[in-house]
Amino acid sequence: MDATQQNEPTTKTAHGYIKAKDKEQVQNRLRRIEGQVRGVQRMVDEEAYCIDVLTQIASVVSALEKVGTILLKDHVEHCVRESIEKNEDADVKIEELTAAVERFLKV
Residues 32-71 that bind its own copies (CB under 8 A): 33-34, 37-38, 40-42, 44-51, 53-55, 57-58, 60-62, 64-69, 71
Helix (H, G, I), strand (E, B) or coil at 48: coil
Measured from the CB of residue 21, what is the shortest distance to its own copies in angstroms? 13
Number of residues that bind its own copies (CB under 8 A): 73
Q: Tell me the C-alpha to C-alpha distance, in Å, between residue 58 and each of 8, 14, 61, 75.
A: 37, 32, 5, 25
Rule CB under 8 A: choose which of 7, 14, 21, 88 binds its own copies.
Answer: 14
Amino acid at 41: Q
Q: Kindly state whether residue 88 participates in binding its own copies, applying the rule CB under 8 A.
A: no
The closest alpha carbon to 36, from 2, 62, 68, belongs to 62
